[in-house]
């Protein structure tokens, strides 16, 4: 199998050969051959440049937060290597040690220590792994389940559509924090339960968006043609409909991911999320609430981390919407 570049070279050689072998070939033919080669080279160069046009749509502000988000994600992935200390190790002799840049701080703990002498920076890095893992898993599961339910409701219509929309409307009518607290009170607070809540938090949004897109797709000629030749409904959903709603769903997932991070932080702050000694950002903010006057760094740094991640993901979602949505006129 030839690669893309090999195919382009093959096409250029073919056209050049055609021009060369024209009847009455001569100096004019050589000029035509050179013109064809130049035109093909210019078209290939423009095609290569067009692949990177999306970079121009990133503003300096987008670049700043994209770099911040990249650093946080990489630190979370390699938390065991990047973190200078064990996040659960107590060191009561160095409890409430200020950050290195504050009076009395030392380079041994760049962001200080908490009330048990645990390194704040190490807990922030490991907390990023916990929060981002829950956000990614919950977002992906919610997107897959919601998209399939919405496509099924939009294509099948009838009773399935009515029942699905009734469930979604009833789900949206209740504040999700109440639903989350009810589930936690019954099932307890664990990583699996918090991930389940993260999955449920965006279910309704994915279902409604995918259903609306499915209603539009069912009227498209390619869907009507596939239906007329007897394409099975499941194959029609997965092979023909799902790829055409991926772009809007990608934008929605970025928005939902920041909401999931805030949800996990809110539950941990209220004491219904992950429990100590798990290094969760919301739990760290809750622990630092009692030390704001004497050791502000315990709660301020995890709060700032939550804010930076939420803003970074939201800006990334806005940028993806501008790039992937043809109605915005972005190029």
Q: Which pLDDT score, from 0 to 100, does residue 89 have? A: 86
Can you give the pTM of this predicted structure?
0.73
User: What mean pLDDT comes out for the span 8-12?
Assistant: 47
Does the pLDDT value for residue 17 go beyond 60?
no
Burial class from Cβ neighbours inside 10 Å (0-12, 13-18, 19+) for residue 243 reads: exposed
Does the pLDDT value for residue 331 go beyond 60?
no
Spatial CB neighbours of 242, under 8 Å, sequence gap ≥ 6: 147, 151
By three-state DSSP, how is residue 83 classified?
Answer: coil
Spatial CB neighbours of 289, under 8 Å, sequence gap ≥ 6: 299
Beta-strand (E) ranges in 30-183?
none
Tell me which DSSP letter residue 119 carries: B
Q: Which pLDDT score, from 0 to 100, does residue 22 have? A: 46
Task: Compare 53 and 209 and report the one with higher pLDDT.
Answer: 209
Rounded Cα gap, residues 99 and 90, in angstroms = 17
Rounded Cα gap, residues 58 and 116, in angstroms = 43
Phi, psi of 113 (to 5 degrees): -130, 165
Structure tokens at 288: 């630092």
Pick the CATH number of 60-328 from 2.130.10.10, 3.90.1150.10, 3.40.50.720, 1.10.3720.10: 1.10.3720.10
Q: Which strand (E) or helix (H) includes residue 254?
A: helix 246-270
Write the DSSP assignment of 172-240 as a string of letters.
Answer: HHS-HHHHHHHHHHHH-S-HHHHHHHHHHHTHHHHHHHHHHHHHHHTTSHHHHHHHHTT--HHHIIIII
Place of tokens 């290195």: 100
pLDDT, tens digit, 9 for 90 and up, residues 25-74: 445 555 545 554 565 555 555 545 455 555 666 778 888 888 988 999 99
Q: Which residues pair with 88 in a beta bridge?
A: none
Spatial CB neighbours of 201, under 8 Å, sequence gap ≥ 6: 138, 142, 176, 180, 256, 259, 260, 263
Q: Which pLDDT score, from 0 to 100, does residue 122 have? A: 92
Does the pLDDT value for residue 220 go beyond 60?
yes
């Amino acid at each position: 199998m030839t690669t893309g570049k090999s195919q382009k070279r093959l096409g250029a050689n073919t056209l050049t050969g055609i021009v060369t072998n024209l009847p009455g070939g001569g100096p004019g033919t050589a000029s035509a051959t050179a013109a064809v080669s130049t035109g093909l080279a210019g078209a290939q160069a423009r095609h290569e440049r067009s692949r990177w046009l999306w970079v121009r749509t990133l503003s300096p502000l987008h670049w700043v937060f994209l770099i911040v988000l990249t650093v946080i994600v990489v630190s979370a992935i390699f938390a065991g290597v990047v973190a200078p200390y064990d996040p659960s190790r107590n060191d009561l002799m160095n409890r409430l040690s200020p950050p290195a840049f504050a009076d009395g701080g030392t380079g041994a703990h760049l962001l200080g220590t908490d009330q048990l002498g645990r390194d704040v920076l190490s807990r922030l890095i490991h907390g990023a792994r916990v929060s981002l893992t829950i956000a990614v898993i919950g977002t992906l599961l919610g997107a897959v389940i919601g998209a399939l339910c919405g496509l099924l409701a939009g294509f099948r219509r009838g009773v399935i559509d009515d029942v699905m929309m009734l469930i979604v409307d009833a789900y949206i009518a209740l504040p999700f924090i109440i639903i989350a607290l009810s589930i936690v009170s019954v099932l307890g607070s664990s990583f699996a339960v918090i991930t389940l809540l993260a999955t449920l938090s965006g279910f309704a949004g994915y279902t409604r968006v995918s259903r609306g897109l499915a209603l539009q797709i069912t009227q498209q000629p390619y869907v009507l043609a596939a239906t007329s030749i007897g394409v099975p409904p499941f194959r029609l959903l997965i092979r023909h409909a799902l790829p055409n709603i991926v772009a809007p769903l990608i934008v929605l997932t970025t928005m939902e991911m920041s909401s999931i991070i805030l949800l996990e932080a809110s539950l941990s702050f209220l004491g219904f999320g992950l429990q100590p000694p798990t290094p969760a950002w919301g739990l760290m903010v809750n622990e630092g609430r009692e030390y704001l006057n004497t050791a502000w760094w315990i709660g301020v740094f995890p709060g700032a981390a939550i804010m930076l991640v939420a803003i970074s993901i939201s800006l990334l979602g806005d940028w993806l919407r501008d790039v992937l949505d043809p109605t915005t006129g972005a190029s």
